[in-house]
Structure 1
């Protein structure tokens, strides 16, 4: 992969985006399946299958959970927009933008204690 001279503000925005996205995913894993309280359900047995699907009742999100989910979603959206519309992208030669964007996504690999080593020796951001 080619080397790119990303501006510091773009590198920082990508790092903050990675962190905000990880925080959002972590929060979402802890939330109930429904924002509003909903009763549980169980489906009827499906033809040609012994499997039934079901879902326990959801208490809904607490006001704090709603606020935090909305805050993190806004942050991820704002940072995504900031990274994707950065003026740096217009300085690249035609046909190199996709490779440069992929390189930016991995520019901080190994910089974080969350990074883990993959079998081939490369580093990948842990989730």
Structure 2
């Protein structure tokens, strides 16, 4: 894929992908609720159309809550930096949209035609 983006913008996008992956990994490794919560199991015919279930959550420690807050703050900062990068002022209309989408996939494997 052609890389006509400034190096710092490409690095910001890579950092954004990494931050997103870090937050996802953190959330996948922790109970669904940061606060202690009872689980439930609802069956069809008991006032519900479909079966659903949620395991109980013991909650998170204060350190884990802070870690999630920090991961989300980092993600939001990077989103803002990518979005507000001066490079985008050199483009407009469909070219801007196409370039933003290309940047999101800058490290995707190149497909052979």
Please give the range of the TM-score, normalised by the shorter of the 2 chains.
0.7 to 0.9
Alignment of 1:1-127 (within 5 A): 3=2, 5-46=4-45, 52-110=51-109, 122=111
Q: Which runs of 5+ in 1 are unaligned?
A: 111-120
Structure 2-normalised TM-score? 0.83
CA deviations on 1:65-96 (whole Å, 9 max, x unpaired) are 21111111111110011001111101114320
TM-align CA RMSD: 2.6
- Distance in 1, matches of 2:111 and 2:49, equals 43
Larger relative CO (CA 8 A, sep 6+): 1 or 2?
2
Q: State how many pairs are aligned.
A: 112
SS in 2 for 1:16: helix
Q: Residues 33 and 59 of structure 2 are in contact (CA less than 8 Å); yes or no, is this contact kept in structure 1? A: yes
Runs of 4+ with deviation above 6 angstroms: none
